[in-house]
Structure 1
Amino acid sequence: MFADQAPCITPVHRAEIAAQDLAIALARYNIPADVHVLWPDQAQVSVYFGLLVHTSGYRYWWIVAPSSAERRKPLWTYADDTATAARRLAEHYRELRTRPVEELLLYGQLLADVILENVDVAPV
């Protein structure tokens, strides 16, 4: 590569960089998060039971398990920037930590679910 050329950022790099940025921003809220790149143009950030964030590098989106008190359906939500995503995820994280894990496992999206939905598995 020549000194006057900018490095090429591929979709996989863009998604992974955005996911890493989100994990760093969540750490500022004392929220641990794991980054996973499962597809060439998408990365996932596992935040908590039932709280899995997807990113293409341009936007973040996630599903929040339904709350019997507030809503009966899962909440699909998104953010266009890292700071907004981290702030909103911190709010969801605090709320989810007050709920029984069994409820979150029943209604939330897990990393394992996403992997199994998108991987060809031969029957045994």
Structure 2
Amino acid sequence: MIGNSRMPGRHQAGLTPTTATTSPNEHEQALTAAAHLVGLLITRHNIPADVHNLPQGVVVSVFYGLVAHVESVIWWTIPNARSTRHKPLKTYAHSVETAADRLAKQYRDLRSVPLPELLATGRITFLAAALIEGRDRDAAPV
């Protein structure tokens, strides 16, 4: 359940998907929350995003490397756009509104780095660069 739920202890260390233990009702709640998240990203922040209902769980694709997992909380790994960390930062939000605002900030941070710099430092691959360029042209999420 998204909202006032607390993050279960097993998530705190690894923030791993739990689809295997998700009931059909919880899965439906995750789909609803993901659709709401996409709506907020589009309407509040003018950021295209998609919902993906995968066997591993429900995710929202915001940008290459910026994918939110929608479970009892919404969690994501922040790509290292400026190469200041030695490992990715995992973070989460308990509400869809907070997740939308924080994901929008991360999206802007990623988009502020020139594509050649992301490629030169290996933070994204050539395939990802082609997808990003196609996204700019087509305004479709990656």
TM-score (norm 2): 0.61
Q: Of 49, 66, 78, which residue of structure 2 is paired with 1:51?
A: 66
| Mapped pair 1:63 → 2:87 | no
Q: Is the 8 A contact 1:50 1:104 kept in 2?
A: no
Aligned to 1:78: 92
Question: How high is the TM-score relative to the length of structure 1?
Answer: 0.69
Residue equivalent to 2:11: none
Secondary structure at 2:47's aligned position in 1?
A: coil
SS in 1 for 2:124: helix
Residue 91, structure 1, aligned to residue 105, structure 2:
yes
Contact 2:77 2:88 in 1 (8 A): yes
**What is the CA–CA distance in structure 1 between the aligned matches of 2:31 and 2:25, rounded to whole Å?**
10
Q: Which amino acid aligns with 1:84?
A: T
* SS of aligned partner of 1:10: helix
CA drift of 1:105 comes to: 2.6
Hey, what's the Cα distance between the residues in 2 that align with 1:66 and 1:60?
19
Q: Which structure would you say has the larger Rg?
A: 1
Determine which of 2, 5, 10 is the counterpart of 2:25.
Answer: 10
1:20 counterpart residue number: 35
Deviations 1:9-41 (A, max 9, x none): 71221110010010011112000000011137x
Contact 1:49–1:104 (8 Å) recurs in 2:
no
- Identity percentage over the alignment? 41
Structure 1 or 2: more helix by fraction? 2
CA shift at 1:65, angstroms? Answer: 1.5
Partner SS for 1:105: coil
| Structure 2 contact 81–123 (Cα < 8 Å) conserved | no
Match of 1:38 among 50, 54, 63: 54
Shift of 1:44: 0.4
